[in-house]
Amino acid sequence: MLPNKAINLAENSFNLSFFDKQVSLLKQYVNLLTDWSARVRLISRNDRNFIWERHVLDCLSLVPHLPPNGPLLDLGSGAGLPGIVIKIMRPDLEVYLLEPVRMKSLFLSDTITVLGLPNTFAIRDRAETLIGNSSFLGKFQIGTARAVARLPLLWNWIEPLLAPHGVLISMKGLDALNEFVHGVPDYLCATETSLTIPFTRRRRSFVFLQRRFT
C-alpha cells in the first residue's frame, strides 16, 4: 500500500488529522522498520511488504481512544507498535517503550534517535522486573499492549506501574474479555470496543482496564 493511501484511510476511518511532519515521520519509521527487518525479526516475514496496512493502520486506529494525559508505557513494544506510532501522532505524550529483547530494544533506541522523538525512552527490561524500580511504581497514566499476553497476565504486570486512575489499553481480537475465564474480577472496571480496520477488513478490539473505586 502506498503511504498516502494509508494516511487517507486513517483520516476517513479514524477521524484523524495529520501534519506534514507526522506523515514524514511515519514514512521514515516504516523505512527503518523495513531496513531492520532484513536483519532482525521485528515483524513476520509475510508482513514485510504490508507494513502500512497490517501494522501502521492498525496502530493508528488506537490513537483516538487514548486519554489526554500521560506518561505512557508500551508493554512488549517490539517494533514500536503501537508505541512509536502513538508518539508520532501524540508528540505531547511522554512515552516509554518496554522491550526485553536486545535487538528489538536497539531498534527502538535507533528509531528514537533517527526520528528525533523527544521525551521517548526505550527500556530493555521486563514488566515483572521493572516493578523493582521504585521510580516507575505508580508512574503511568496509560499502558498499551499489542499482541503481548492474555489480559489477566497483562494486568498483573502493569498494575503496580499504573497511577491510581491509570488505564491499560490492550489491542486484541474480538471478545477478548473472555480471557478472564472466571469473569472480570470485581476490583476491575473493564470495557471493550471494536472496529474494522480499513482495507484489510480485520476486526480489532480495544480492552480498557482500570481499578474500580467504590
Q: How confident is the model at residue 24 (pLDDT cuts 50, 70, 90)?
A: very high
pLDDT digits (tens, 9 = 90+) for 81-130: 999 999 999 999 999 999 999 999 999 999 999 999 999 999 999 999 99
Lowest average pLDDT, out of 38-42, 63-67, 159-163, goes to: 38-42
pLDDT exceeds cutoff 90 at 47: no
- What is the per-residue pLDDT across 141-190, written as a single tens digit (0 to 9) for each? 999 999 899 999 999 999 999 999 999 999 999 999 999 999 999 999 99
Q: At what angle do helices 20-37 and 102-115 cross, to 10 degrees?
A: 150
Answer whether 114's CB lies under 8 Å from 27's CB: no
All domains in the chain, ordered by first residue:
3-211 (3.40.50.150)
Q: How confident is the model at residue 2 (pLDDT cuts 50, 70, 90)?
A: confident
- CA gap 122, 34 in Å, rounded: 19
Answer whether residue 8 shows pLDDT above 90: yes
* Cis ω for the linkage preceding 71 (within 30 of 0): yes
